[in-house]
Amino acid sequence: MLRMRTLALALLFGTSLFVEARQVPIQDQRPAGSALRPAVMGSTGGVSTGHPLTTAAAFQILLKGGNAFDAGAAALLAGGVLEQDLYSLGGEGLVLVYPKTEGKVISVVGQGWAPAAVSIDWYKSRNKTLYGSGLDPAVVPGAVHATLTVLEKWGTLSFEEVAGPAIEYAEKGFPLRQSTAQAIHNQLPLFAKWPENQKYWLKPDGSEYKPGETIKLPNLARTLKRMVEAERAAKSKGRAAGIIAARDLFYKGEIGREMVAFLRKNGAPFSEADFSEFFAKIEDPAKTTYRGYTVYKHGFGSQGPVLLESLNILENFDLHAMGYGSADYFHTVTEAMKLAYADRDTYYADPSFVNVPAEGLLSKEYAKERAKLIDPHRASKSFIAGDPLRYDSKVKQWTYWKASAKDATNDRTQLQISPEDRRASRGLDPAGVSKDTTHMSIIDKDGNIFDATPSGGWINGAVILGDTGIGMSVRGEQFWLDPTRAAQIRPRSRPRYTLTPSIVFKGDVPMMGLGTPGGDNQDQTILQAFLAIVDFWGDWYPNLHAAFERPRVQTLHFYGSFWPHTAGFNKLNVEATIPDAVYNELRARGHDVSRLPAFGMSGCATAVMIDPVTRNRFAGADPRRDCYAIAY
């Protein structure tokens, strides 16, 4: 009887499924394995950011006639209002631009610096650390300077025009998304110590905003409107003069003085000069080539060259023949990243204070030497930096710490780390939620490219500076309080930051802007997204979403960039969509493997592309978060 009943149910459901499938119009039926999101393509421009409303703000400016840099400034300002669980205007803005009129990629380093009064001894003598909450790890906000520098030098609109969406969202309100509401809830203990945070993020009766409710940020709106007023007062001197006046009000004028007064009142060692003398650096980017593509990143004051080193190493292997997602593929990519991270944790630091062997680190011959260290059958447990000085014509001496562990998994100091410190080193708050970052990529009708990774000043740990509505960056948590480390804190130094935008050329022709949030995982996400695009072009074209949806792995084989810098040597996270056979083979090769949910990897790749063949604009956004892409 039971078998008869089972057979009847099977026939019933099989028939209903068949009928249901027949009822779906042919044009709406999708083949198995197709992307979850449709291809986003247009003939004119494209935008991809970490929040639908941020994308809308940038798109609005493009439709208004602005270029990619106007739209990028609008995205940075609007994102600093909308996405404050990931980034605020008190954080940092790291930007790459390709202005077609200049014909080259330019790096804008909007990373804040430490106050002139601090040093390792300053912290140790006061029993202070760089734990990422409060004012101890604070650095000068850099995002506003970077935003207005981009607008001044390469934009066409006024600050008032590009700040319009941000001011409207702050003044009239916007619907709170789930992740932002959760970040507010998680930070109630911090808010209890800082009344300004309570006033800013909670309702007048002290209750929390729920997801979907409208939140208004009047103090932040007031700060932006004051900057607009400063621009209007100077506008008779020209567009650039007006933008500079708005920027100066923030760093050299009343707003800057108000922020410093609050900081000093609460024991933070900032001076007005720390703000007034701050500037976003404009410099040449780091770059390398990979199978006919040129990839541009921020320099060695960032972790960006990890991607470049990894690509140089991987160029020595036939990844396409291995096949995306095979055990050989993931093993080789992981081992290459391990080697690059050992160099990162040794050599990368603020180049204003450290002579980094940049030429050697990006040498193709050096990469060949490093590639030989990869055992195709066994995961490496070592954490040993290479010797790039042999390939560097300028730097011939290294006096700082150098990674040299033959078996890093036996490091007793790492075995004694508390779970709380392990979370903090990965950029997670006490609730285990990532403070994280966002990303913005934009291409316009003329082929200009804007690519930015802003972060910091988060709800998770940032103190609101009085009535300015500005949350103070805690990026100082990425310094070391160790005099042997190259990336140690120094007066007016910038931390070796994790934020890492990318621009890609095919040959000598601009093709793509690409980036992601994710802390230490950023260049792992970018690497795997980039390889999925360029090495497996036929598998996704023309839908970038198909490339971004492919499963990823994540090595933790490095010292975390966030204080207290604990490591996860030989640990490898893999997404659930990776088959059991691949998972088991990676484990058999010696990787300490753990499963993550499908689309569970930290990161959210966002990209815009000029199709090399058609010159159409493609845009893509990772399904792993709220990222959103549009093209027209």
Task: Give the Cα separation of 520 and 324 in Å (integer).
Answer: 22
Residue pair 61/71 in contact (Cβ under 8 Å)? The answer is yes
* Strand boundaries in 160-229, DSSP class E: 174-175, 214-215
Whether the full predicted model's pTM is greater than 0.75, yes or no, is: yes
Give first-to-last CA distance, the chain, whole Å: 60
pLDDT greater than 90 at residue 522: yes
- Residue-wise pLDDT for 40-88, tens only, equals 999 999 999 999 999 999 999 999 999 999 999 999 999 999 999 999 9
Per-residue H/E/C for 222-245: HHHHHHHHHHHHHHHHCHHHHHHH
- Residue-wise pLDDT for 372-388, tens only, equals 999 999 999 999 999 99
Q: What is the pLDDT of residue 19?
A: 35
Q: What is the pLDDT of residue 484?
A: 98
Helix (H) or strand (E) holding 505: strand 502-506
Q: What is the CA radius of gyration of the chain?
A: 24
Q: What is the pLDDT of residue 492?
A: 98
pLDDT greater than 60 at residue 27: no
Query: In the structure encoding, which two tokens stand for residue 120, read together?
Result: 């390792």
Place of tokens 């930096």: 385
- Residue-wise pLDDT for 288-304, tens only, equals 999 999 999 999 999 99
Task: Give the Cα separation of 561 and 542 in Å (integer).
Answer: 36
Residue pair 494/513 in contact (Cβ under 8 Å)? The answer is no
**Other residues' Cβ atoms within 10 Å of the Cβ of residue 393:** 8
pLDDT greater than 90 at residue 117: yes
Mean pLDDT of the chain: 93
- Residue-wise pLDDT for 184-225, tens only, equals 999 999 999 999 999 999 999 999 999 999 999 999 999 999
Span 233-253, average pLDDT: 98
SS3 69: helix
Task: Give the Cα separation of 556 and 341 in Å (integer).
Answer: 10
Least reliable range by pLDDT among 4-18, 146-160, 613-627: 4-18
Q: What is the pLDDT of residue 420?
A: 73
Q: What is the dihedral of CA 277, 280, 281, 284, to 10 degrees?
A: -170
Q: What is the pLDDT of residue 423?
A: 66
Q: Which residues contact 78 (CB under 8 A, 6 or more apart)?
A: 53, 54, 57, 58, 165, 166, 169
pLDDT greater than 90 at residue 466: yes
Task: Give the Cα separation of 534 and 546 in Å (integer).
Answer: 13
pLDDT greater than 50 at residue 256: yes
Report the percent of the chain where pLDDT is more than 70: 92
Query: In the structure encoding, which two tokens stand for residue 187, read together?
Result: 């930070």
Which domains occur in the chain, in start order? Answer: 286-435+498-538+549-612 (1.10.246.130)
Residue pair 544/48 in contact (Cβ under 8 Å)? The answer is no
Span 478-498, average pLDDT: 98
pLDDT greater than 50 at residue 16: no
DSSP bridge partners of 607: 514, 620
Task: Give the Cα separation of 408 and 591 in Å (integer).
Answer: 13
Strands 502-506 and 293-297: antiparallel
Q: What is the DSSP letter of 572?
A: E
pLDDT greater than 70 at residue 33: no
With both helix axes pointing from N to C terminus, report the angle between 52-63 and 159-172 in degrees, rounded to the nearest 10.
140
| pLDDT band at 8; cut points 50, 70, 90 | very low
| pLDDT band at 3; cut points 50, 70, 90 | very low
Q: What is the pLDDT of residue 21?
A: 42
Q: What is the pLDDT of residue 32?
A: 55
- Residue-wise pLDDT for 82-107, tens only, equals 999 999 999 999 999 999 999 999 99
Place of tokens 């980036």: 515
- Residue-wise pLDDT for 584-598, tens only, equals 999 999 999 999 999
| pLDDT band at 24; cut points 50, 70, 90 | low
Per-residue H/E/C for 292-350: CEEEEECCCCECCHHHHHHHHHHCCCCHHHHCCCCHHHHHHHHHHHHHHHHHHHHHCCC
